[in-house]
């Protein structure tokens, strides 16, 4: 797909400085620009590259004034970084929109209902009574179980598995290898030390605008629902256990694990490799540093670090002493010897 500077300026509500007919068909960093590419300049640290870049078009802030000769066509916008992000979104969507149709071999139940512009990649399976909205893209080797509901403008990348009865809203992205709706870790101990599996008869509900990273797993509820609220962003390789609820617009980095029945609030930011105990409640606007272990209820607006975690400010002060602990112990021993000698 080719776009002219004039077309791009119209999309971004910007002003063309240079050749309005300059054409681009790919994206690039400003220092790696080539003919036919579009780039952007937002950080003044990279300004020197605008005088040497070979990119055909470059997005710049309205405030930018060149101090030398440039060969690239400029598009002036309010915020070059945000505009380039908008352009990336537009470009990505245009690529997805080109994917339409049902590839073979694939298997779709006769009871499936699907909307306009469905793309179903080869070697995929869609079970009974599934309902799929408009503009859904399901890439090869996916499994969609019985009674699943998928909203509009959802992308399911290759190899994802969505178990039966899962409900997925609109504008969601599910990356490769994600598994949604597998059984939770539920086993009842027997007197002889063995375990009996507890049937997991609930489901998973994923609301609108949720992103689920590659190889992330979200278990179905024992009863009721495991719920991922609107706007949640989950990184790769995250484990969400049965009956967990994650509040709106919370973001969680890779390799975090949330044990069963824990509730996490809205607008939280959770670092990588954080561990949550089960049956706890985490408030809204909470910040948790990477590799923390959370074993208690957390109030709104707390900032935590450490394992077991405690407030970030206390952790930072304590860490000074943690590092000096061998020295402190040695000084204590010397002090004890001195006291004993004096006695």
What's the pLDDT tens digit per position in 291-304?
A: 999 999 999 999 99
pLDDT at position 132 over 90: yes
pLDDT of amino acid 308: 67
pLDDT at position 254 over 70: yes
> What residues form DSSP beta bridges with 17?
74
pLDDT at position 310 over 70: no
| CA distance linking residue 286 with residue 281, whole number of Å | 11
pLDDT of amino acid 204: 98
What's the pLDDT tens digit per position in 141-195?
A: 999 999 999 999 999 999 999 999 999 999 999 999 999 999 999 899 999 999 9
In this structure, are residues 77 and 95 in contact, taking their beta carbons and an 8 Å threshold?
no
Closest by alpha carbon to 273, among 257, 297, 249? 257
What's the pLDDT tens digit per position in 35-84?
A: 999 999 999 899 999 999 999 999 999 999 998 899 999 999 999 999 99
| Second CATH level (architecture) for the domain 101-315 | 3 Solenoid (2.160)
Average pLDDT, the chain: 92
What's the pLDDT tens digit per position in 182-198?
A: 999 989 999 999 999 99
User: Based on the number of CB atoms within 10 Å of its own CB, is 307 exposed (0-12), middle (13-18) or buried (19 or more)?
Assistant: middle
Closest by alpha carbon to 218, among 251, 181, 254, 173? 181
Q: How confident is the model at residue 289 (pLDDT cuts 50, 70, 90)?
A: very high
Catalytic annotation, residues:
242
Domain ranges of the chain: 3-97, 101-315
Residue 91: its H or E element: helix 80-97
Q: Which fold has domain 3-97?
A: 3.40.1390
pLDDT at position 314 over 90: no
| CA distance linking residue 94 with residue 206, whole number of Å | 25
């Amino acid at each position: 797909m080719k776009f002219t500077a004039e077309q791009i300026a119209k999309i971004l509500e910007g002003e063309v400085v240079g050749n309005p007919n300059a054409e681009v068909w790919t994206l690039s960093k400003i220092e790696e620009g080539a003919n036919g590419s579009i780039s952007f300049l937002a950080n003044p640290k990279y300004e020197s590259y605008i005088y040497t870049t070979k990119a055909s078009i470059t997005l710049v802030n309205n405030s930018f004034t060149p101090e030398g000769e440039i060969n690239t066509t400029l598009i002036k916008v309010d915020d070059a970084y945000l505009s380039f992000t908008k352009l990336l979104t537009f470009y990505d969507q245009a690529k997805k929109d080109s994917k339409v149709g049902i590839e073979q071999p694939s298997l779709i139940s006769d009871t499936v209902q699907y909307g306009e512009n469905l793309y179903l990649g080869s070697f995929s399976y869609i079970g009974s009574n599934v309902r799929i909205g408009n503009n859904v893209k399901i890439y090869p080797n996916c499994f969609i179980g019985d009674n699943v509901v998928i909203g509009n403008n959802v992308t399911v990348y290759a190899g994802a598995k969505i178990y039966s009865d899962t409900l997925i809203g609109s504008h969601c992205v599910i990356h490769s290898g994600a598994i949604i709706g597998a059984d939770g870790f539920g086993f009842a101990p027997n007197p002889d030390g063995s375990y009996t599996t507890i049937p997991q008869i609930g489901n998973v509900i994923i609301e609108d605008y949720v992103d689920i990273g590659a190889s992330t797993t979200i278990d179905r509820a024992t009863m009721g629902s495991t719920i991922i609220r609107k706007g949640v962003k989950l990184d790769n390789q995250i484990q969400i256990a049965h009956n967990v609820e994650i509040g709106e617009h919370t973001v969680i980095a890779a390799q975090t694990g949330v044990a069963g029945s824990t509730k996490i609030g809205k607008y939280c930011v959770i670092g990588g490799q954080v561990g949550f105990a089960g049956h706890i409640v985490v408030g809204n606007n909470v910040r948790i540093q990477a590799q923390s272990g959370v074993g208690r209820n957390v109030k709104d607006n707390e900032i935590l670090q450490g394992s077991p975690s405690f407030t970030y400010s206390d952790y930072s002060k304590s860490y000074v002493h943690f590092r000096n602990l061998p020295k402190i112990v040695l000084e204590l021993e010397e002090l004890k010897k001195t006291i004993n000698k004096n006695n």
